[in-house]
Structure 1
Amino acid sequence: MVDVLIVGGGINGCGIARDLAGRGWRVLLCEKDDLAAHTSSASTKLIHGGLRYLEYYEFSLVRKALQEREVLLRSAPHIMWPLRFVMPHDPSMRPAWMVRIGLFLYDHLARREVLPGSRGVDLRAHPAGAPLKSVFRRGFVYSDGWVDDARLVVLNAIDARAKGAEVLTRTRCVGAQRDADGWTAVLEGPAGRRTVRARAVVNAAGPWAEAFLRGVAQPARGEALATRHLRLVKGSHIVVPRVFEHDHAYIFQNPDKRIIFAIPYQGDFTLIGTTDIELSGDDPGAARIAQDEVEYLCTQASRYFEKPILPADVAWTYSGVRPLLDDASGDPSAVTRDYMLESNATAAPLLSVWGGKITTFRKLAEDAADEVGRMLGEARPAWTESAFLAGGDLSAWIGAAKRPDEDFERFVAAVQAKHPWLEASLARRLARAYGARISVVLGDARSMQDMGEAVAPGLHERELRYLRDEEWACSGDDVLWRRSKLGLRFTPEQRERVGAWMREQVPPSAQRVREGVACS
């Protein structure tokens, strides 16, 4: 018997599991695939208010997101950091006065302590102007943040488990029967079927949230669980070799009134996205970028960069499906990105999560936990606003926190001082991925020999065992494209070696399922 069963292992599900477990409830989370296997690893990877949403008068959404930026930056400085954005001014898009008003609002809708405000720049003198066409002479600079989205999900899951939650991946909820006293759910995973009794259910299935209510959850007689429709919008991104040398990102205005970003990515690459395309087909998990999306992103980026971006330059692509509440808008870009929590307490409590964006996941989880507590009649205090995420507390290494970006650099220096045998680039990568949990990754290692065989360049057996045992990694893709982005740097042969190691070392077993690391 658990208090709450959560269906869905994306950022919302894992964030809610963490919050509920931290309040003392017994929590079980099941995810049919890997953590962050879908939408939550396919974002533009920004901690941002959403400057463009001001044009749609989404002031509440923007303010909520702006309030969360610095909360998140402080909670996990190893996977999140401040980022400055440059908007070249194109008079044919939006007049300068409109941009200045928007940035003024962006600066002042929420309190800032870490992030600097916006300002105008002369692109003929600023380093960000160098890769741009000479027609762009002026621009604007403002602040937001960057996040490793898939790792953010994993950190929430680690925290949830540390606080008592059970997290099962590769485990599908195939049925959930509701009665007045609770839910009886059937979970199907590598060890077969398991029946779970829960006092409440949280539907955090993302693009599958409506389908869960219509096809999996079984209501009491005479009630309809699905009262809303999702609008599934595909967002696609391309990754190309590094287009510019500086550390700023770009936000580009397009003739169709949309915007795209060009962001420094993984050191040697530039990330460009995103599109907004109505999803066709019945399976959100099958979403892939189309050739016309590749061409669209290349064309729009090439309107600004002196050196054209060509489809042949694309090193990698990814697509995700945003589950937005259908508001009958004709423009997918105009559909709200705000979240809605829908409670149903006509029998055992049910909470469905609709929409949301990665920046507001913590607040969404807090609101969801408050609502679950209300429905269970057991209000318990919120706690996450001042809490660190797994690995985010660097104080044992660097003392008191100052600024998230500066704290991380001090942390890297401390790691290198304590482990001088680690190659500098490897020390930085491990520090960036794991934060203070680098001690768990390294264990008693005192030399590179202690790290085990290099299964691929810079990726050793000790790290793979950590990912297998501590982070629910079960396959090569889990390691290469979600726990890291090392797949970008490895050859097909090297990627296959990682996959082969995982297949050999991660056999499905009932014991691993019981430990909350279900693999198939």
Structure 2
Amino acid sequence: MGEIPERIDCDVLVVGGGINGAGIARDAAGRGLRVLLCEKDDLAAHTSSASSKLIHGGLRYLEHREFGLVRKALIEREVLLRSAPHIMRPLRFVMPHDAGQRPAWLIRTGLFLYDRLARREFLPGSAGVDLRRHPAGAALQAEFTRGFEYSDGWVDDARLVVLAALDARERGALVLTRTTCGGVQRHPLHWSATLTGAAGETRRVSARCLVNATGPWAATFLQGALGTQPQPQLRLVKGSHIVVPRLFEHDFAYIFQHPDGRIVFAMPYERDFTLIGTTDADFRGNLDAVAIDDAETAYLCELANRYFRQPIGPADVVWSYAGVRPLVDDDGASAQAASRDFRLAHDTDGAPLLTVLGGKITTFRKLAEEAVDWIGPQLGNRHRGWTAQACLPGGDLFGAHPSNRSVLEFDQWAAAMQQRYRWLSPALVRRYARAYGARITVLLEGCRTLSDLGPEIVPGLYPAEADYLITHEWARSAADILWRRSKLGLHLPAGSAAKIDAWIAARGARVSAAAPRSGSAAPSYPSPSSRPPAPTSA
């Protein structure tokens, strides 16, 4: 593809490369709209890669009577699991119980409702368990003898964002990372803006509709664009997580009830670790420098020690992360009780403006669908939603359409990939299968032996994969590769990031030297007939 032109005309300018912005860009491009998505940093660089990594209905939201949100999320849970079975998987949760917590009958009632608020096709229902005999009981303090288990799902959150953006691009969208949007001006029929890239290059954009999907920055962006605040207003809540060496050997996750009423998860993570979180604290500070603090770390360790036999402390933390959730302000509820539902603020006082407020990863597809259901008619586009019946890139393990089989038979599919690529180690094939799904064939195209991947850059990372991530998935730095496109950073020795950055710089120099010096054609949006067709809604 040639150079991007200095002036770009599009139907929809989406500002913000988190899960909601990428989801909206994907849906809109699939309906034939000309879409431009810009993100000031890397895709999923902030809130969308700092979640609890769950596709879930939100059992605890039942306590706050958010039945509509829970039902919506439960419906989406299986839709999403089918759409990307490589980066998502069912996960069984165990909730230990003791006399000092919510009464057992209340928990049973909540789980009964959780099982029945939405149809389940393949996830098993809840059940009471005897922790003296259950595999999850061995890691717990002896006082916990009974509990409950139920189903939800796991997701690689950062890869979900990348795959949504990749699908958007393959349906005609233009995706620009490390590109800030400024100089926004509203006109009766269009918006104008200036995009500035990492090297200082600028482009002028004219868009018929503007989408503010900047997450925690939504109010700041709106203030800059229109001099107004979103209605309703946002409440910024920080959630932090810690990662420690593995505290148990089984594949169950735990949901713990703290005496202060908060809920914390402890989950198997990256084979060798346990992920514990999250906290909920109102946030006022620099959104570009969000980090866990000592009090949060101590709180999570204290809660884990209340349940697990093996004690942990701050010195055991091998990695931590924090993100700021932009929640709809509901006047005084505690941070943990504030609603996670989304709202879409519509503004037609001139060219259309849509501002995304709140939301959670589980409902991103539904949020995007509702957003484009509004945007489309504003621009004369009447195409129906299509994403409920579409796979994300790599999710088409057994055909183009989502299926329960892809979820239930993922291990068999991965075993078939091991037979196909017998020259790779089982651990590497498993990681590739989980990260890239059916697109493992694109990653390994032309490779017949391990040497075809190139000499290792760092343990487990070969040039073939790094090239794929740079070419197809917008990776530009070691941090992009080690912490968002993968979690290899947890497994590698000190100094690995510097080696990757040096390799990327050398690669860039080679590519620049080989690039043609003139005659590059500027890219244009594909005509609707040349885009991949969106599946027809059922």
Q: TM-score, normalised by structure 1?
A: 0.95
Q: 1:472 aligns with which of 471, 474, 481?
A: 474
Residue deviations 1:303-355 (CA, integer Å, cap 9, x gap): 00011121111010000000011122241011100000010011000000000
- For 1:349-498, what aligned pairs fall within 5 Å after superposition? 349-395=352-398, 401-498=403-500
Runs of 4+ aligned structure 1 residues displaced above 6 Å come to 507-516
Superposed, 1:237-316 pairs within 5 Å as: 237-281=241-285, 283-316=286-319
Partners of 2:404 and 2:59 lie apart in 1 by 27
Which residue of structure 2 aligns with residue 234 of structure 1? 238
Deviation at 1:515, TM superposition (A): 7.2
How many angstroms does 1:419 deviate by?
1.2
Change (3 A) 1:330 1:11: same
With over 3 angstroms needed to count, the CA separation of the structure-2 counterparts of 1:448 and 1:133, relative to structure 1, is same
Distance of 2:316 and 2:27 partners within structure 1: 42
Any stretches of 5+ residues in structure 1 without a counterpart? Answer: none
1:213 paired to 2:213: no
Does the alignment pair 1:339 with 2:342? yes
Q: How many pairs align?
A: 509
Q: For 2:13, what is the secondary structure of its paired residue?
A: strand
The answer on whether the counterparts of 1:2 and 1:198 sit within 8 Å (CA) in structure 2 is yes
Quote how far apart the aligned CAs of 1:429 are.
0.4
CA distance in 1, matches of 2:316, 2:118: 39
Superposed displacement of residue 503, structure 1: 3.0
* Equivalent AA in structure 1 for residue 88 of structure 2: M
Whether 1:156 and 2:164 are equivalent positions in the alignment is yes
Query: Could you list the per-position Cα deviations for residues 239-265 of structure 1 after superposition, in whole angstroms to 9, with x for gaps in the alignment?
Result: 000000010000000011001000000
Aligned residue in 2 for 1:5? 13
Q: How does 1:75-154 map to 2 (within 5 A)?
A: 75-154=83-162
Q: 1:40 to 1:400 in 2, by over 3 A?
A: closer
8 Å Cα contact 1:210-1:228 kept in structure 2: no
* Superposition deviation, residue 502 in structure 1: 2.1
Tell me which residue corresponds to 2:176.
168
- Give the equivalent residue in structure 2 for 1:31: 39
Give the Cα–Cα distance (whole angstroms) in 1 for the partners of residues 359 and 523 of structure 2: 30
Once the two structures are superposed, residues 79-112 of structure 1 have per-residue CA deviations (whole angstroms, 9 ceiling, x without a partner) of 0000000000122110001100100010000000
Distance 2:478 2:16 in 1: 21
Contact 1:474–1:506 (Cα < 8 Å) also in 2 = no
RMSD: 2.0
Q: Counterpart of 1:341 in structure 2: which amino acid?
A: L
Deviation at 1:506, TM superposition (A): 3.8
1:288 CA drift (Å): 0.3
In structure 2, the CA distance between the partners of 1:210 and 1:267, relative to structure 1 (3 Å rule), is same
SS in 2 for 1:334: coil
Deviation at 1:40, TM superposition (A): 0.3
Structure 1 residues 208 and 131: CA distance shift in structure 2, 3 A: same
CA contact (8 A) 1:476 1:500 kept: no
Shift of 1:400: 9.6
Between the aligned partners of 1:364 and 1:506, the Cα distance in structure 2 is: 37
Q: Is the 8 A contact 1:9 1:31 kept in 2?
A: yes
Q: 1:193 is matched with which residue?
A: 202
Cα deviation for residue 513 of structure 1 reads 13
Letter in 2 for 1:318: Y
Structure 2 unmatched ranges of 5 or more: 1-8, 525-538
